[in-house]
Amino acid sequence: MNTPEDARQYAPATQRNREPILEVLLQVLPKSGTILEVASGTGEHAVFFAPRLSPLQWLPSDQNPQLRASIIAWAEQCPSDNLYPPLELDASMPVWAVEEDASLYSPIVAIVNINMIHISPWSACLGLMAGAGRILPLGGILYLYGPFKQNGEHTAPSNVAFDQSLKAKNPEWGVRNLEDVVAAANAQHLKLKATYQMPANNLSVVFESGD
């Protein structure tokens, strides 16, 4: 029988990007409340960010049961008092589990989504924006991290190759155009607050919930 540690998965990019992402999160996140991480993946980000962002609460989620098992295993290895167990959550669904069980958590004041919208169908991005529009309070924050095209153009040759490899795996995947993402956010009353240039030709994109 496997021990919880055996369920841990590893994403090499996490080790490279977690410090720069944390630097931005410390600037843009509210000071109290719950942060919902949509598509937490292996859980490595969750166990790194949670103790460093206390007293904020960190709520990880993923639709993949193997990744949720990895999150649980990482949390057992690196426990943090402000880290919730992971939720099953598919961003493209019209209602998220966290909305049905909202009383279990302190108010969700921000949503963090790292490296998802380019490795999922566009419907997942639209669902993410709709969920953020439903859940976030006025002034709430939606944080995205990943590669983006700008004005329809890739920002680096490496992103061209990455985009091609994604589309070869699934034609519904691909590096998104920042302007399309901003338009989808605006439709849910989420206004672009700031963008930050990040390592490896990625961006941090920060939206704020408005009227």
- With a CB cutoff of 8 Å and minimum separation 6, the contacts of 158 are 200, 201
Angle subtended by helix axes 44-52 and 12-28, to nearest 10: 30
The yes-or-no verdict on residue 15 having pLDDT over 70 is yes
Query: Interior CA angle at 189 toward 184 and 192, to 5°?
Result: 70
> Which domain covers residue 169, as residue numbers?
4-209
Gap between the Cα atoms of 190 and 173, Å rounded: 23
- At 76, the amino acid letter reads E
The yes-or-no verdict on residue 209 having pLDDT over 70 is yes
What are the pLDDT digits (tens) for 18-39?
Answer: 999 999 999 999 999 999 999 9
Tokens read off for 142:
């939606």
What are the pLDDT digits (tens) for 43-92?
Answer: 999 999 999 999 999 999 999 999 999 999 999 999 999 999 999 999 99
- Contact criterion met (CB below 8 Å) for 39 and 112: no
- At 107, the amino acid letter reads P
- Contact criterion met (CB below 8 Å) for 44 and 20: no
CATH number at residue 159: 3.40.50.150
Q: Which of 14-18, 99-103, 144-148 has the highest mean pLDDT?
A: 144-148
**Number of folded domains that form the chain:** 1
**Best CA proximity match to 34, nearest among 124, 145, 136:** 136
